[in-house]
Structure 1
């Protein structure tokens, strides 16, 4: 039994630490992700006006909401990792979190107005 546990210990340690090491050394740039989300949302909001069918409009709105959800999750994770340095001048990313959250809320408001216009047709 001890031979089995001594064999399993290094394996279990490696299994547990590998994801933590990978996350800690990730080259992932959350600010870039947020900027891509902003571009996608703006493009989808413009496309909404040119959508011909109700199905296209619904799919467009679903996509906008999915991207906004992704953006909000990224913002939340970024703020949590950067806490308590919420202000731009203190952020290691030189990023204004509050402005981005305000932009996201404005985008969401526009999407909801578009949804309302679609439902009232």
Structure 2
């Protein structure tokens, strides 16, 4: 998982679930119980329908993500089942931190600005 500026509540929840899943996996694998944590990237939902067009290049539809998730059941205990998200994560982890942080901050700022503009239009009605 990479950093996500301006989305600390999402990231902290994801990190918690990742650690919780890894701990459960370590504890229960001796009993033959597999715990898997699937880490998605962006998935197209009602909330993201107005996102910028560039993000749609790596965004999964709910149906494509669902199919990818089902195919990964039973493999690694921590995975990113949608191939475009895996490629995106590989590139992000290969980048210098400063570059990755700048891109993530710019993207999060644009999304926040879009949301604030939408909210102000809604409040004016």
Q: TM-score, normalised by structure 2?
A: 0.31
Higher relative contact order (CA 8 A, sep 6+): 2
